[in-house]
Amino acid sequence: MLRGEPPVQKGFWEERLVRPIDIYDRFRNEGPWNTGYEDPFEQTFLEILTDEEEKGIFGSVSHETATMVERNLKPLILGEDPFAVEKIWDIMYRSQVHGRKGETMMAISAIDCALWDLIGKAKREPVVRLLGGPVQEKVPTYASMLGFSLKPKDVAKRCQEYADKGYSAMKWFFRHGPGSGLSGMQKNIELVKTIRDAVGYDVDLMLDCWMSWSIPYTLKMAKRLERFEPAWLEEPLMPDDIDGYAELSKRLEIPIAGGEHEYTRWGARELLKRKAVDILQMDVTWAGGITEMRKICALASSEGVSLIPHAGWTEPAQSITFSQPKNDCPMIEYLVKWAAIQQAFNKEKLIPQAGLFYAPTKIGLGFEPQTENP
Protein backbone atom coordinates (compact mmCIF):
# COMPACT_ATOMS: atom_id res chain seq x y z
CA MET A 1 0.00 0.00 0.00
CA LEU A 2 1.27 3.48 -0.88
CA ARG A 3 0.31 6.68 0.93
CA GLY A 4 0.56 10.31 -0.06
CA GLU A 5 -1.31 13.56 -0.45
CA PRO A 6 -4.69 13.39 -2.22
CA PRO A 7 -4.30 13.86 -5.99
CA VAL A 8 -7.70 15.57 -6.23
CA GLN A 9 -8.05 17.96 -3.32
CA LYS A 10 -11.55 19.32 -3.93
CA GLY A 11 -13.29 16.09 -4.83
CA PHE A 12 -13.71 14.26 -8.10
CA TRP A 13 -17.36 14.93 -8.94
CA GLU A 14 -18.32 18.45 -9.95
CA GLU A 15 -21.37 16.76 -11.49
CA ARG A 16 -22.21 13.09 -11.71
CA LEU A 17 -23.32 11.03 -14.66
CA VAL A 18 -26.69 9.35 -15.12
CA ARG A 19 -26.92 5.89 -13.50
CA PRO A 20 -29.10 2.82 -14.15
CA ILE A 21 -30.55 3.16 -10.66
CA ASP A 22 -31.85 6.64 -11.51
CA ILE A 23 -35.13 5.11 -12.72
CA TYR A 24 -36.10 5.50 -9.04
CA ASP A 25 -36.90 9.00 -7.75
CA ARG A 26 -35.01 8.36 -4.54
CA PHE A 27 -31.71 8.04 -6.41
CA ARG A 28 -32.33 10.23 -9.45
CA ASN A 29 -32.51 13.39 -7.34
CA GLU A 30 -29.20 12.78 -5.60
CA GLY A 31 -26.49 15.29 -6.40
CA PRO A 32 -22.81 14.63 -7.09
CA TRP A 33 -21.13 12.19 -4.75
CA ASN A 34 -18.94 13.52 -1.98
CA THR A 35 -15.61 12.08 -3.07
CA GLY A 36 -12.99 14.33 -1.61
CA TYR A 37 -10.02 12.07 -0.91
CA GLU A 38 -8.73 11.65 2.62
CA ASP A 39 -5.26 12.72 3.66
CA PRO A 40 -3.22 10.57 3.54
CA PHE A 41 -4.45 9.18 0.23
CA GLU A 42 -3.95 5.40 -0.05
CA GLN A 43 -3.78 2.95 -2.94
CA THR A 44 -3.15 -0.79 -2.87
CA PHE A 45 -0.93 -2.39 -5.53
CA LEU A 46 -0.53 -6.01 -6.55
CA GLU A 47 3.05 -7.26 -6.71
CA ILE A 48 4.22 -10.65 -7.99
CA LEU A 49 7.70 -11.92 -7.08
CA THR A 50 9.69 -14.86 -8.46
CA ASP A 51 12.39 -16.98 -6.84
CA GLU A 52 14.87 -15.11 -9.05
CA GLU A 53 13.60 -11.83 -7.56
CA GLU A 54 11.94 -10.65 -10.74
CA LYS A 55 8.95 -8.45 -9.95
CA GLY A 56 5.75 -7.46 -11.70
CA ILE A 57 3.30 -4.85 -10.48
CA PHE A 58 -0.29 -3.82 -11.14
CA GLY A 59 -2.26 -1.07 -9.55
CA SER A 60 -4.19 0.14 -7.99
CA VAL A 61 -6.67 -2.51 -6.89
CA SER A 62 -9.76 -2.30 -4.72
CA HIS A 63 -10.00 -3.94 -1.32
CA GLU A 64 -12.39 -6.51 -2.81
CA THR A 65 -9.96 -7.36 -5.60
CA ALA A 66 -7.03 -7.63 -3.20
CA THR A 67 -9.02 -9.98 -0.98
CA MET A 68 -9.99 -12.14 -3.96
CA VAL A 69 -6.35 -12.39 -5.04
CA GLU A 70 -5.11 -13.25 -1.56
CA ARG A 71 -7.78 -15.81 -0.66
CA ASN A 72 -8.77 -17.46 -3.93
CA LEU A 73 -6.12 -16.98 -6.60
CA LYS A 74 -2.72 -16.75 -4.91
CA PRO A 75 -2.80 -20.38 -3.65
CA LEU A 76 -3.53 -21.59 -7.19
CA ILE A 77 -0.55 -19.98 -8.89
CA LEU A 78 2.24 -20.23 -6.30
CA GLY A 79 5.08 -22.26 -7.82
CA GLU A 80 3.91 -21.83 -11.42
CA ASP A 81 6.21 -20.61 -14.19
CA PRO A 82 5.43 -16.85 -14.45
CA PHE A 83 6.09 -16.97 -18.20
CA ALA A 84 3.28 -19.51 -18.67
CA VAL A 85 0.57 -16.85 -18.84
CA GLU A 86 -1.89 -18.98 -20.82
CA LYS A 87 -1.67 -21.84 -18.30
CA ILE A 88 -1.97 -19.53 -15.31
CA TRP A 89 -4.95 -17.73 -16.86
CA ASP A 90 -6.69 -21.02 -17.56
CA ILE A 91 -6.10 -22.29 -14.02
CA MET A 92 -7.55 -19.12 -12.53
CA TYR A 93 -10.54 -19.03 -14.87
CA ARG A 94 -11.43 -22.71 -14.45
CA SER A 95 -11.20 -22.43 -10.67
CA GLN A 96 -13.64 -19.50 -10.45
CA VAL A 97 -16.73 -20.80 -12.20
CA HIS A 98 -18.95 -18.45 -10.18
CA GLY A 99 -16.77 -15.44 -10.98
CA ARG A 100 -16.85 -15.31 -14.75
CA LYS A 101 -17.86 -11.64 -14.59
CA GLY A 102 -17.29 -8.82 -12.15
CA GLU A 103 -14.85 -8.54 -9.27
CA THR A 104 -13.34 -12.02 -9.69
CA MET A 105 -12.51 -11.35 -13.32
CA MET A 106 -10.95 -8.04 -12.30
CA ALA A 107 -8.72 -9.96 -9.88
CA ILE A 108 -7.71 -12.40 -12.63
CA SER A 109 -7.01 -9.42 -14.90
CA ALA A 110 -4.82 -7.78 -12.26
CA ILE A 111 -2.67 -10.89 -11.83
CA ASP A 112 -2.39 -11.33 -15.59
CA CYS A 113 -1.30 -7.72 -16.17
CA ALA A 114 1.24 -7.98 -13.35
CA LEU A 115 2.66 -11.15 -14.95
CA TRP A 116 3.12 -9.36 -18.28
CA ASP A 117 4.87 -6.51 -16.45
CA LEU A 118 7.13 -9.09 -14.79
CA ILE A 119 7.96 -10.77 -18.11
CA GLY A 120 8.73 -7.42 -19.71
CA LYS A 121 11.09 -6.51 -16.89
CA ALA A 122 12.75 -9.93 -16.99
CA LYS A 123 13.36 -9.56 -20.73
CA ARG A 124 14.14 -5.83 -20.50
CA GLU A 125 11.45 -5.11 -23.09
CA PRO A 126 8.23 -3.06 -23.20
CA VAL A 127 5.16 -5.30 -23.06
CA VAL A 128 4.06 -3.99 -26.44
CA ARG A 129 7.15 -5.60 -28.02
CA LEU A 130 6.30 -8.92 -26.38
CA LEU A 131 2.89 -8.64 -28.07
CA GLY A 132 4.47 -8.24 -31.51
CA GLY A 133 4.43 -4.47 -31.73
CA PRO A 134 4.48 -1.62 -31.81
CA VAL A 135 2.40 -1.70 -34.97
CA GLN A 136 1.58 2.00 -34.70
CA GLU A 137 4.00 4.83 -33.90
CA LYS A 138 1.41 7.20 -32.44
CA VAL A 139 -2.27 6.95 -31.59
CA PRO A 140 -4.77 9.78 -30.98
CA THR A 141 -6.42 9.97 -27.61
CA TYR A 142 -9.87 11.18 -26.74
CA ALA A 143 -10.35 13.27 -23.61
CA SER A 144 -12.93 11.56 -21.42
CA MET A 145 -14.55 14.33 -19.37
CA LEU A 146 -15.95 12.29 -16.49
CA GLY A 147 -16.69 14.28 -13.35
CA PHE A 148 -16.58 17.80 -14.79
CA SER A 149 -19.31 20.36 -14.27
CA LEU A 150 -22.14 20.33 -16.81
CA LYS A 151 -23.05 23.98 -16.41
CA PRO A 152 -23.01 25.45 -19.95
CA LYS A 153 -20.32 28.06 -19.22
CA ASP A 154 -18.12 25.46 -17.54
CA VAL A 155 -18.62 22.97 -20.38
CA ALA A 156 -17.73 25.53 -23.04
CA LYS A 157 -14.62 26.60 -21.14
CA ARG A 158 -13.49 23.01 -20.58
CA CYS A 159 -14.08 22.04 -24.22
CA GLN A 160 -11.99 24.94 -25.44
CA GLU A 161 -9.26 24.12 -22.94
CA TYR A 162 -8.85 20.57 -24.23
CA ALA A 163 -9.20 21.54 -27.87
CA ASP A 164 -6.36 24.02 -27.27
CA LYS A 165 -4.31 21.18 -25.78
CA GLY A 166 -4.54 19.38 -29.11
CA TYR A 167 -7.29 16.83 -28.49
CA SER A 168 -9.20 16.06 -31.68
CA ALA A 169 -11.88 14.08 -29.81
CA MET A 170 -13.64 14.20 -26.46
CA LYS A 171 -16.34 12.32 -24.61
CA TRP A 172 -19.00 13.81 -22.35
CA PHE A 173 -21.39 12.02 -20.01
CA PHE A 174 -25.13 12.62 -19.91
CA ARG A 175 -26.74 13.47 -16.57
CA HIS A 176 -30.32 12.53 -17.44
CA GLY A 177 -32.29 9.47 -18.53
CA PRO A 178 -35.92 8.47 -19.08
CA GLY A 179 -36.96 9.23 -15.50
CA SER A 180 -36.11 12.91 -15.94
CA GLY A 181 -38.78 13.30 -18.62
CA LEU A 182 -38.82 15.97 -21.31
CA SER A 183 -36.91 18.51 -19.23
CA GLY A 184 -34.04 16.04 -18.78
CA MET A 185 -34.05 15.27 -22.49
CA GLN A 186 -33.78 18.98 -23.25
CA LYS A 187 -30.88 19.36 -20.82
CA ASN A 188 -29.09 16.46 -22.52
CA ILE A 189 -29.54 18.15 -25.89
CA GLU A 190 -28.39 21.49 -24.46
CA LEU A 191 -25.19 19.82 -23.27
CA VAL A 192 -24.41 18.53 -26.75
CA LYS A 193 -25.29 21.86 -28.39
CA THR A 194 -23.03 23.67 -25.92
CA ILE A 195 -20.12 21.39 -26.83
CA ARG A 196 -20.64 21.85 -30.57
CA ASP A 197 -20.99 25.63 -30.17
CA ALA A 198 -17.70 25.65 -28.26
CA VAL A 199 -15.51 23.51 -30.54
CA GLY A 200 -17.45 23.09 -33.77
CA TYR A 201 -17.41 19.92 -35.82
CA ASP A 202 -13.66 19.49 -36.25
CA VAL A 203 -13.56 17.75 -32.86
CA ASP A 204 -15.09 14.26 -32.71
CA LEU A 205 -17.70 14.00 -29.99
CA MET A 206 -18.58 10.81 -28.10
CA LEU A 207 -21.60 10.65 -25.78
CA ASP A 208 -21.88 8.24 -22.83
CA CYS A 209 -25.28 7.14 -21.48
CA TRP A 210 -23.75 4.80 -18.88
CA MET A 211 -26.26 1.96 -19.22
CA SER A 212 -29.10 4.21 -18.06
CA TRP A 213 -31.40 4.66 -21.07
CA SER A 214 -34.08 2.47 -22.67
CA ILE A 215 -34.68 1.53 -26.29
CA PRO A 216 -37.57 4.02 -26.79
CA TYR A 217 -35.66 6.81 -25.04
CA THR A 218 -32.50 6.14 -27.05
CA LEU A 219 -34.45 6.20 -30.33
CA LYS A 220 -36.01 9.56 -29.41
CA MET A 221 -32.72 11.04 -28.27
CA ALA A 222 -30.84 9.77 -31.31
CA LYS A 223 -33.22 11.60 -33.68
CA ARG A 224 -32.54 14.84 -31.82
CA LEU A 225 -28.79 14.24 -31.64
CA GLU A 226 -28.10 13.26 -35.25
CA ARG A 227 -27.64 16.89 -36.34
CA PHE A 228 -24.72 17.17 -33.91
CA GLU A 229 -22.93 14.25 -35.64
CA PRO A 230 -21.79 12.20 -32.61
CA ALA A 231 -18.99 9.72 -33.25
CA TRP A 232 -20.91 7.24 -31.10
CA LEU A 233 -23.51 6.73 -28.38
CA GLU A 234 -21.98 4.68 -25.60
CA GLU A 235 -23.72 2.08 -23.43
CA PRO A 236 -27.33 3.25 -23.77
CA LEU A 237 -28.66 -0.01 -22.25
CA MET A 238 -27.80 -2.40 -19.43
CA PRO A 239 -24.97 -4.76 -20.49
CA ASP A 240 -27.05 -7.92 -20.62
CA ASP A 241 -29.60 -6.51 -23.06
CA ILE A 242 -27.65 -7.68 -26.09
CA ASP A 243 -30.79 -7.98 -28.23
CA GLY A 244 -31.59 -4.36 -27.40
CA TYR A 245 -28.12 -3.27 -28.46
CA ALA A 246 -28.50 -5.20 -31.70
CA GLU A 247 -31.81 -3.46 -32.38
CA LEU A 248 -30.32 -0.01 -31.78
CA SER A 249 -27.26 -0.76 -33.92
CA LYS A 250 -29.56 -1.80 -36.75
CA ARG A 251 -31.98 1.12 -36.49
CA LEU A 252 -29.73 4.09 -35.72
CA GLU A 253 -27.44 6.14 -37.92
CA ILE A 254 -25.29 7.03 -34.92
CA PRO A 255 -22.80 4.22 -34.15
CA ILE A 256 -23.34 2.31 -30.91
CA ALA A 257 -20.37 1.64 -28.61
CA GLY A 258 -20.35 -0.84 -25.75
CA GLY A 259 -18.70 -3.74 -23.99
CA GLU A 260 -17.00 -1.82 -21.18
CA HIS A 261 -18.94 -3.91 -18.67
CA GLU A 262 -18.50 -7.22 -20.49
CA TYR A 263 -15.90 -9.89 -19.76
CA THR A 264 -13.71 -12.45 -21.58
CA ARG A 265 -13.68 -13.62 -25.18
CA TRP A 266 -17.03 -15.31 -24.65
CA GLY A 267 -18.70 -12.03 -23.74
CA ALA A 268 -17.06 -10.36 -26.73
CA ARG A 269 -18.21 -13.17 -29.00
CA GLU A 270 -21.86 -12.61 -28.09
CA LEU A 271 -21.68 -8.89 -28.79
CA LEU A 272 -19.93 -9.46 -32.12
CA LYS A 273 -21.96 -12.45 -33.26
CA ARG A 274 -25.21 -10.58 -32.72
CA LYS A 275 -23.89 -7.34 -34.26
CA ALA A 276 -24.75 -5.54 -31.07
CA VAL A 277 -22.06 -2.84 -31.19
CA ASP A 278 -20.25 -0.85 -33.85
CA ILE A 279 -17.32 -0.12 -31.51
CA LEU A 280 -16.16 -2.60 -28.86
CA GLN A 281 -14.86 -1.11 -25.58
CA MET A 282 -13.78 -3.93 -23.30
CA ASP A 283 -11.34 -2.97 -20.56
CA VAL A 284 -7.99 -4.79 -20.43
CA THR A 285 -7.95 -4.61 -16.63
CA TRP A 286 -11.48 -6.01 -16.24
CA ALA A 287 -12.16 -8.33 -19.18
CA GLY A 288 -9.39 -10.83 -18.39
CA GLY A 289 -6.08 -9.02 -18.67
CA ILE A 290 -3.62 -8.81 -21.54
CA THR A 291 -3.66 -12.56 -22.19
CA GLU A 292 -7.41 -12.55 -22.77
CA MET A 293 -7.49 -9.20 -24.53
CA ARG A 294 -5.28 -10.58 -27.31
CA LYS A 295 -8.03 -13.08 -28.10
CA ILE A 296 -10.71 -10.37 -27.92
CA CYS A 297 -8.72 -8.27 -30.39
CA ALA A 298 -8.56 -11.19 -32.80
CA LEU A 299 -12.31 -11.75 -32.55
CA ALA A 300 -13.10 -8.07 -33.16
CA SER A 301 -10.69 -7.90 -36.09
CA SER A 302 -12.26 -10.95 -37.71
CA GLU A 303 -15.66 -9.21 -37.58
CA GLY A 304 -14.36 -5.85 -38.80
CA VAL A 305 -15.27 -4.10 -35.53
CA SER A 306 -12.87 -1.53 -34.05
CA LEU A 307 -11.76 -2.08 -30.47
CA ILE A 308 -11.20 1.09 -28.44
CA PRO A 309 -10.62 -0.17 -24.88
CA HIS A 310 -12.10 1.50 -21.86
CA ALA A 311 -8.98 2.64 -20.05
CA GLY A 312 -9.40 2.53 -16.30
CA TRP A 313 -5.64 1.98 -16.15
CA THR A 314 -3.89 3.54 -19.13
CA GLU A 315 -0.68 1.52 -19.44
CA PRO A 316 -2.21 -1.91 -20.21
CA ALA A 317 -4.68 -0.34 -22.66
CA GLN A 318 -1.77 1.41 -24.33
CA SER A 319 0.20 -1.83 -24.71
CA ILE A 320 -2.76 -3.57 -26.34
CA THR A 321 -3.62 -0.66 -28.64
CA PHE A 322 -0.09 -0.21 -29.95
CA SER A 323 0.18 -3.94 -30.64
CA GLN A 324 -2.74 -3.76 -33.12
CA PRO A 325 -3.19 -2.16 -36.58
CA LYS A 326 -4.82 1.25 -36.79
CA ASN A 327 -8.05 -0.10 -38.29
CA ASP A 328 -8.44 -2.50 -35.37
CA CYS A 329 -7.46 -0.17 -32.49
CA PRO A 330 -7.62 3.41 -33.79
CA MET A 331 -7.77 5.41 -30.56
CA ILE A 332 -7.02 5.44 -26.82
CA GLU A 333 -9.27 6.75 -24.06
CA TYR A 334 -7.71 9.20 -21.61
CA LEU A 335 -9.90 9.72 -18.55
CA VAL A 336 -8.75 13.23 -17.71
CA LYS A 337 -9.65 13.47 -14.03
CA TRP A 338 -9.36 9.77 -13.26
CA ALA A 339 -5.82 9.64 -14.70
CA ALA A 340 -4.66 11.98 -11.94
CA ILE A 341 -5.93 9.47 -9.37
CA GLN A 342 -4.76 6.36 -11.21
CA GLN A 343 -1.28 7.84 -11.65
CA ALA A 344 -1.00 9.41 -8.20
CA PHE A 345 2.05 7.30 -7.34
CA ASN A 346 3.68 7.12 -10.78
CA LYS A 347 7.20 8.49 -10.82
CA GLU A 348 6.42 9.81 -14.30
CA LYS A 349 2.89 10.74 -15.33
CA LEU A 350 1.57 9.36 -18.62
CA ILE A 351 -0.01 12.38 -20.33
CA PRO A 352 -0.89 12.73 -24.02
CA GLN A 353 1.24 15.12 -26.03
CA ALA A 354 -0.94 17.39 -28.19
CA GLY A 355 -3.68 14.76 -28.00
CA LEU A 356 -1.40 11.85 -28.96
CA PHE A 357 0.20 8.90 -27.23
CA TYR A 358 3.44 7.52 -28.65
CA ALA A 359 4.51 3.88 -28.67
CA PRO A 360 5.71 2.79 -25.19
CA THR A 361 9.45 2.45 -24.73
CA LYS A 362 9.71 1.74 -20.98
CA ILE A 363 10.27 -1.86 -19.92
CA GLY A 364 7.29 -3.86 -18.73
CA LEU A 365 4.11 -1.84 -18.58
CA GLY A 366 6.16 1.26 -17.83
CA PHE A 367 4.84 1.80 -14.33
CA GLU A 368 7.34 2.78 -11.65
CA PRO A 369 5.82 3.61 -8.26
CA GLN A 370 7.22 6.28 -6.01
CA THR A 371 8.71 5.09 -2.77
CA GLU A 372 8.15 8.46 -1.12
CA ASN A 373 5.05 10.63 -0.85
CA PRO A 374 4.15 12.35 -4.16
Task: Write out the catalytic residue numbers.
Answer: 310
- Say whether the peptide bond before residue 32 is cis (omega within 30 degrees of 0): no
CA distance 56 to 122: 9
CA distance 260 to 239: 9
CA distance 268 to 263: 7
Name the β-bridge partners of 169.
204
Q: Kindly report the number of other CB atoms within 10 A of residue 289's CB atom.
A: 28
In 3-state terms, what secondary structure has residue 97? coil
Cα-based angle 203, 209, 210 (whole degrees, multiple of 5)? 120
CA distance 40 to 56: 25
In 3-state terms, what secondary structure has residue 364? strand
In 3-state terms, what secondary structure has residue 198? helix
CA distance 18 to 250: 25
Which residues have a Cβ under 8 Å from the Cβ of 11 and sit 6 or more positions away?
32, 34, 35, 36, 37
- Say whether the peptide bond before residue 360 is cis (omega within 30 degrees of 0): no
Length of the chain equals 374
Percent helix, percent strand, percent coil in the chain, to nearest 5: 45, 15, 40
Which residues have a Cβ under 8 Å from the Cβ of 237 and sit 6 or more positions away?
211, 213, 214, 215, 218, 244, 245, 248, 258
The answer to whether 334 touches 352, Cβ cutoff 8 Å, is yes
Q: Parallel, antiparallel, or unpaired: how do β-strands 138-144 and 356-358 relate?
A: antiparallel
The answer to whether 91 touches 272, Cβ cutoff 8 Å, is no
The answer to whether 263 touches 101, Cβ cutoff 8 Å, is yes
